[in-house]
């Protein structure tokens, strides 16, 4: 049977396997003309597993995604966090894959992998060289069908600690980290599937046992509740055979019914609040809206954009532009069962949230007067088109899209329907949804205020979660049995792999304009886009000549994103958004970047806007005053952030207080207060020059085409810009611990290291990257396996060399449980010391060579990856064969070479150890270690010292 979907042919047929006709070809979608579509074939196995295959031979990589239609919404009251917990357990080995082997096998294959959980689904995915397809499918099938006997109590306990660390790092100890949890609790009725978050509650995680977790797997992780999506350098018939072999014999699990939408209902405005370790009060208003896929969803998305997205929005004008708040935005977020229209305002420290609520309501009412314009719809539709196209830049992006559409729409080709829905939105639709869901409707109004400032809330709390009316659902877990597949082959044997695919380094062209501007580019026609990245050397480092005005580079970049001679910033943004393009300027440590992304068809108009932004800034005093105020508030806020404190103090210790690298690129309150608008103008006039600039171009355009469009850059007048030479970092006479007190912190931030060396693509720096891979560079590195997987001290620990043109640090780092702070320092130093003394093992050398050697297949896939690769070539003046030289170094490096590097470049007796944590919890244990302990304030100034031993 043949049926038509859009302009795509869909075939219904069947595939005959070697054994019997058990896998059906449900449909095949092919691209016709210029339509926006991801071609695929869709199959159904006899056990209910859905298979989708997308064939794309543009790069020698393959992406495998297994999506299970189960998220936190399938959990029970009192047993929250199971879906996410199981995501962790799925990486802990199965019958034929040993503990920690999943990460190791994929990494060794040159691949990358992960898993994610949300309310409605859990997915697991790998991107690997195409010769490793069978390995990826074998791994995924083994944990689908052969997991539970490998789930031990010990693994359960370690991963429970890891999840608790993740909650601490990303929720409990992160500013505003509980906003989503508090909103969900109070928006939905008690027991509603969305009334808790995916991470779950600590008390639930502490309560459950390993058998609860096993039952969750048996109920929801069957092949009939899963979609396997494979994309990349594959042939569909080969994928079908492999999936039949590895997945086909896994028995179906219990039947799974789709859940019906359960949109929240509010009988009044619910005011709730909590105190947090923040500087800026936050107001969050949440209105119930329909679920994803509902006919009103696109119109609500337009409403969110008009109200509070970008510089053309009402909220930007009333809050940010008028300096009433640091940030103000709106969004329409949708999930499978319900949606939420959210309004967030982050205001200044002395502002009462009641005043912000009043301005929110006034701004909402203003929408009625303003209405919806044609420009609003043009902007929304252009950005939606650009977003859909850019998602197709990688095989993983296309596979993820197919998997999501199949899981939630039962139609991988839903992109066609998505386009129709977007293009069909009218001004009348937007006004209708405003009246139906927002105007005069009730909301959850959450106030987040600094600790001790409860008087700043919008209104006193008037709602408490009630269990009245809650009825537990039917028992989903009784009588479940674990039945393993019966195979005709030995599943314990890893699949044979073919030869490594031939990876072509992108062909590129170079050019140099008379004014000194260097150009490097590559044609890439997989998607109809063009990316430009202009790097102007200097950035924050130029302030080394006058550190009293550090932060001027950041302020200058901010001002270049404001008004120009011919456009207000709002008008400029409007023009960009109507094209679905982006032109933005930002400053870094060593450079200022002009970043441009556009659809090919809109390139000329986008380049005209790039020229306007770069060469015709208006430098308004009002814009300067607003940005300076925001920068000063951001600096003040850093004193509340343990991660930022750790990084800043660590840098100050590494480089010395008078080194520009010791100064944050945003500056300090003192230095930013010194900066005037004239300073910004002077910085722009003196330092923005083609003589210190590089341009990278990647996209669907030839060298001749793009060079012909760059006259405005050819005519850029050069200046004599002198880049600042680096100064030597102070020597470290001995390893000490520096403690910065963060009262009541449940986690501690640790940084350990010293100033190493500059970047070198084919010298000792490159070799240090090879050396560090087994120490702290891979997931299966010694440091991460010890602190995360074995001890459960952290969500993740790592080490690495961070060189640029200037000397950069070696740093080992982690955020760890407060009660394991001293123990974590001990384990870090143990691993560093052991590696320093005894070096690497032969097995680790083999793993490193295999992993890094095969990873080239993933390096040049997307326009962004190509731009990064070319940018490094032009920045460091690398030869065309530098990748071959790196490969030769990799292939020839020995254990003896790496041991020598470790002995030379891991000076464990001459490193700084920085700890940001709760002094009363961690100090005594740190003092018991064999290091002097020096206490510092949050600016890195000494406040006392003590030592034991």
DSSP string of 552-585, one letter each residue? HHHHHHHHHTS-BSS--HHHHHHHHHHHT-EEEE
Contact of 73 with 120, CB cutoff 8 Å? yes
Backbone angles phi, psi at 37, to 5 degrees: -155, 150
Q: For residue 770, which of 836, 849, 703 has the smallest C-alpha distance?
A: 849
SS3 305: helix
Strand partners for 339: 289, 334
Give me the average pLDDT of each 10-residue run along the chain (949 residues). 33 38 89 91 98 95 97 95 91 93 93 96 96 97 96 91 90 92 97 96 90 94 98 97 97 96 97 95 98 97 97 97 97 98 97 98 97 96 94 95 97 94 97 98 98 97 94 91 94 90 88 97 94 97 94 98 97 96 96 97 98 98 97 92 95 94 95 98 97 97 97 96 88 97 93 97 97 96 96 95 94 96 98 98 96 88 92 94 95 98 98 97 96 95 61
For the CA atoms of 467, 473, 478, 483, the dihedral, rounded to the nearest 10 degrees, stands at: -120
Kindly give the pairing relationship between strand 518-523 and strand 693-699.
parallel
Burial class (CB within 10 angstroms; exposed 0-12, middle 13-18, buried 19+) of 507: exposed
DSSP state of 78: T
Backbone angles phi, psi at 497, to 5 degrees: -120, 150
Q: How far apart are CA 199 and CA 72, in angstroms?
A: 8
Kindly give the pairing relationship between strand 582-587 and strand 932-936.
unpaired
Query: Element (H or E) spanning 461, and its range?
Result: none
Count CA atoms closer than 13 A to 543's CA, side-chain side: 35
Q: How many CB atoms lie within 10 A of CB 515?
A: 16
pLDDT of residue 945: 52
Q: How far apart are CA 305 and CA 298, in angstroms?
A: 11
Q: In what order do the strands lie in the sheet with 912-917?
A: 794-801, 809-817, 747-755, 912-917, 736-741, 932-936, 942-947
Residues 6+ apart with CB under 8 A from 137: 64, 228, 230, 242, 243, 246, 247, 495
pLDDT of residue 706: 97
Q: How far apart are CA 168 and CA 821, in angstroms?
A: 14
- Tokens 């006899």 locate to 46
Q: For residue 825, which of 910, 925, 904 has the smallest C-alpha distance?
A: 925
Q: Exposure pattern of 22-44 as b/e (b: 16+ CB <10 Å)?
A: ebebbbbbeeeeeebbbbbbbbb
Q: For residue 731, which of 764, 755, 765, 757 has the smallest C-alpha distance?
A: 755
Contact of 349 with 280, CB cutoff 8 Å? yes
Strand partners for 13: 25
* Secondary structure (DSSP) of 177-244: TTHHHHHHHHHSPTT-TTSS-TT--HHHHHH--HHHHHHHHHHH-SGGGEEEEEEES--HHHHHHHHH
Residues 6+ apart with CB under 8 A from 206: 160
Burial class (CB within 10 angstroms; exposed 0-12, middle 13-18, buried 19+) of 472: exposed
SS3 644: helix
Strand partners for 721: none
Query: Element (H or E) spanning 520, and its range?
Result: strand 518-523
pLDDT of residue 8: 37
Q: 909: alpha, beta or left, given left = phi > 0 and alpha = psi -120 to 50?
A: alpha
Contact of 686 with 715, CB cutoff 8 Å? no
- Tokens 């731009």 locate to 867
pLDDT of residue 640: 86
Q: For residue 174, which of 191, 197, 154 has the smallest C-alpha distance?
A: 197
Contact of 123 with 67, CB cutoff 8 Å? yes
pLDDT of residue 402: 98
pLDDT of residue 639: 84
Record the tokens describing residue 639, joined without a space.
């004193």
Give the predicted TM-score (pTM) of the model: 0.92
Give the chain's domains with CATH numbers.
45-247 (3.30.830.10), 270-394+405-456 (3.30.830.10), 509-714 (3.30.830.10), 736-947 (3.30.830.10)
Q: How far apart are CA 379 and CA 637, in angstroms?
A: 34
Strand partners for 693: 536
pLDDT of residue 174: 87
Q: How many CB atoms lie within 10 A of CB 757?
A: 17
- Tokens 């034991």 locate to 948
Long-range CB pairs of 10-13, under 8 A, 24+ apart, other chains included: 10/413
- Chain centroid to CA 427: 34
Q: How far apart are CA 623 and CA 682, in angstroms?
A: 17
Residues 6+ apart with CB under 8 A from 835: 775, 782, 902, 906
Q: How far apart are CA 108 and CA 476, in angstroms?
A: 39
Record the tokens describing residue 880, joined without a space.
């065309």
Q: How far apart are CA 307 and CA 317, in angstroms?
A: 10
* Secondary structure (DSSP) of 32-52: -TT-----EEEEE-TTS-EEE
For 115, 305, 308, the CA distances from 319, given in Å and listed in that order, are 38, 15, 10
Q: What angle do CA 622, 627, 630 make, to 5 degrees?
A: 130
Q: How far apart are CA 911 and CA 928, in angstroms?
A: 18
Record the tokens describing residue 268, joined without a space.
């009044």
Kindly give the pairing relationship between strand 693-699 and strand 325-334.
unpaired
Rounded (10°) angle between helices 677-687 and 621-638 = 90
DSSP state of 695: E
Q: How far apart are CA 915 and CA 586, in angstroms?
A: 30
């Amino acid at each position: 049977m043949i049926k038509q979907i859009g302009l795509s042919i869909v075939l219904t047929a069947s595939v005959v396997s070697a054994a019997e006709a058990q896998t059906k070809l449900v449909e095949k979608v092919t691209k016709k003309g210029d339509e926006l579509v991801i071609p695929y074939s869709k199959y159904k196995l006899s056990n209910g597993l859905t298979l989708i295959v997308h064939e794309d031979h543009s790069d020698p990589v393959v992406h495998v995604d297994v999506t299970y239609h189960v998220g936190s919404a399938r959990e029970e009251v009192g047993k929250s966090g199971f879906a996410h917990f199981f995501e962790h357990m799925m990486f802990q080995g199965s019958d034929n894959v040993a503990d920690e082997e999943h990460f190791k096998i994929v990494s060794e294959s040159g691949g990358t992998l992960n898993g994610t959980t949300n309310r409605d689904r859990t997915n697991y995915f790998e991107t690997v060289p195409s010769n490793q397809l069978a390995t990826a499918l074998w791994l995924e099938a083994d944990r689908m069908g052969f997991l539970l006997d490998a789930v031990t109590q010990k693994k359960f306990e370690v991963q429970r600690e890891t999840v608790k660390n993740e909650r601490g790092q990303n929720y409990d100890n992160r500013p505003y980290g509980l906003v989503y949890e508090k909103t969900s609790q109070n928006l939905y009725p008690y027991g509603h599937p969305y009334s808790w978050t995916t991470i779950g509650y600590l008390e639930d995680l502490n309560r459950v046992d390993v058998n609860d977790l096993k039952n969750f797997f048996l109920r929801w992780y069957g092949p009939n509740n899963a979609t396997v999506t494979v994309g990349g350098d594959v042939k569909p018939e080969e994928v079908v055979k492999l999936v039949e072999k590895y997945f086909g014999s896994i028995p179906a699990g219990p039947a799974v019914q789709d859940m019906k939408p359960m949109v929240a209902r509010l009988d009044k405005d619910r005011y709730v609040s909590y105190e947090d370790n923040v500087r800026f009060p936050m107001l969050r208003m949440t209105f119930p809206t329909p679920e994803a896929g509902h006919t009103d969803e696109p119109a609500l998305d337009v409403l969110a954009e008009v109200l509070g997205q970008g510089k053309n929005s009402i909220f930007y004008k009333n809050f940010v532009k008028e300096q009433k708040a640091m940030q103000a935005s709106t969004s329409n977020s949708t999930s499978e069962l319900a949606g939420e229209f959210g309004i967030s305002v982050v205001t200044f420290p002395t502002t009462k949230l009641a005043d912000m609520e009043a301005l929110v309501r006034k701004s909402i009412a203003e929408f009625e007067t303003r209405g919806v314009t044609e420009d609003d719809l043009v902007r929304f539709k252009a950005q939606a088109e650009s977003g859909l196209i850019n998602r197709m830049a990688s095989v993983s992006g296309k596979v993820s899209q197919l998997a999501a559409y199949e899981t939630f729409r039962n139609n991988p080709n839903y992109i066609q329907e998505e386009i129709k829905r977007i293009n069909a939105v009218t001004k009348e639709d937007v006004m209708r949804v405003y009246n139906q869901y927002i105007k005069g409707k009730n909301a959850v109004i959450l106030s987040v205020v600094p600790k001790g400032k409860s008087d700043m809330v919008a209104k006193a709390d008037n709602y408490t979660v009630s269990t009245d009316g809650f009825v537990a659902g039917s028992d989903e877990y009784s009588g479940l049995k674990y039945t393993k597949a019966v195979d005709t082959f030995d599943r314990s044997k890893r699949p044979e792999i073919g030869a490594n695919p031939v990876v072509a380094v992108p062909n590129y062209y170079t050019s140099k304009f008379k004014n000194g501007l260097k150009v490097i580019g590559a044609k890439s026609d997989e998607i109809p886009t063009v990316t430009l990245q202009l790097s102007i050397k200097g950035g924050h480092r130029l302030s080394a000549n006058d550190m009293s005005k550090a932060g001027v580079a950041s302020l200058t970049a901010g001002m270049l994103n404001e008004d120009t001679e011919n456009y207000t910033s709002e008008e400029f943004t409007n023009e960009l958004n109507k094209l679905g393009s982006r032109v933005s300027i930002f400053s870094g440590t060593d450079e200022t970047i002009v970043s441009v992304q556009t659809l090919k068809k809109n390139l000329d108009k986008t380049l005209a806007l790039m020229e306007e932004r770069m060469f015709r800034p208006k430098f308004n005093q009002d814009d300067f005053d607003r940005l300076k105020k925001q920068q000063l508030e951001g600096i003040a806020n850093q004193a509340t952030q343990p991660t930022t404190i750790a990084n800043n103090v660590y840098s100050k210790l590494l480089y010395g207080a008078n080194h520009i690298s010791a100064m944050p690129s945003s500056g300090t309150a003192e230095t930013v207060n010194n900066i005037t608008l004239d300073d910004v103008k002077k910085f722009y006039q003196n330092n923005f020059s083609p003589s210190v600039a590089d341009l990278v171009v990647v996209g669907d355009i030839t060298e001749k085409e793009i060079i012909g469009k760059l006259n405005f850059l050819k005519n850029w007048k050069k200046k004599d810009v002198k880049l600042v030479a680096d100064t030597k970092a102070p020597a470290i006479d001995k390893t000490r611990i520096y403690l910065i007190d963060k009262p009541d912190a449940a986690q501690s931030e640790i940084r350990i290291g010293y100033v190493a060396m500059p970047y070198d693509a084919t010298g000792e720096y490159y070799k240090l990257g090879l050396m560090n891979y087994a120490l702290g560079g891979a997931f299966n590195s010694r440091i991460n396996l010890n602190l995360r997987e074995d001890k459960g001290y952290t969500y993740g620990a790592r080490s690495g060399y961070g060189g640029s043109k200037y000397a950069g640090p070696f740093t080992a780092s982690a955020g760890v449980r407060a009660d394991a702070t001293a123990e974590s320092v001990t384990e870090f130093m143990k691993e560093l010391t052991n590696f320093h003394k005894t070096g690497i093992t032969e097995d680790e050398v083999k793993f490193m060579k295999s992993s890094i050697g095969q990873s080239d297949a993933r390096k040049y896939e997307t326009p962004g990856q190509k731009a990064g690769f070319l940018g490094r070539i032009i920045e460091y003046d690398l030869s065309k064969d530098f990748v071959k030289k790196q490969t030769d170094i990799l292939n020839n490096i020995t254990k003896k070479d790496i041991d020598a590097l470790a002995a030379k470049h891991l000076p464990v007796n001459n490193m700084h150890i920085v700890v940001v944590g709760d002094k009363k919890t961690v100090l005594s244990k740190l003092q018991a270690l064999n290091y002097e302990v020096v206490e510092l304030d949050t600016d890195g100034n000494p406040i006392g010292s003590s030592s034991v031993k």
